Amino acid sequence: MRELAREYCATLSSHPLGLRNARRWIMRLVLEAGFTPRDAHDLAVAFSEACANVHRHAYGGRRDGRVELRVGIEDERVVVAVAHDGEPFDPAGYAPPDLRRPSESGYGLYLIASLVDEVSFEDTGSGGRVVLVKR
């Protein structure tokens, strides 16, 4: 049986190297909580894609944007929230990629949705938040 809920927080910049280190940190937390290596890997990849989108789209490639991470680990699920002060994402304008017509980009959200059980996007009024849930 897994331990009761725990929450971990970190604030870092939108620099890709720091976000890569955060991916390793999240993976370690999830594995230590008793989740499977596959679940930890899936969540880490989804997190990386979400952070790449924050870096690329919310901050326009800037490396000095604030990224706040919250990782909540409960009995049967992990919740990762990625908040930022950049441009929020509007999911109403999203169209899934046409997998029959290969493209160089545009697969991030599709990949995220296939790796986690829930994904949501919020406009916080001062930026945006992506919430990933893995059961």
Residue 54 in contact with residue 65, Cβ under 8 Å?
Answer: yes
CA distances from 41 to 26, 30, 63, 66, 69 (A): 10, 9, 25, 24, 17
Quote the pLDDT of residue 100: 82
Query: Tokens in use for 132?
Result: 């990933």
Ranges of the chain whose pLDDT falls below 50:
1-4
Quote the pLDDT of residue 53: 93
Residue 122 in contact with residue 131, Cβ under 8 Å?
Answer: yes
Give the neighbor-by-neighbor strand order of the sheet with 78-84: 6-13, 66-73, 78-84, 128-134, 118-123
Residue 3 in contact with residue 33, Cβ under 8 Å?
Answer: yes
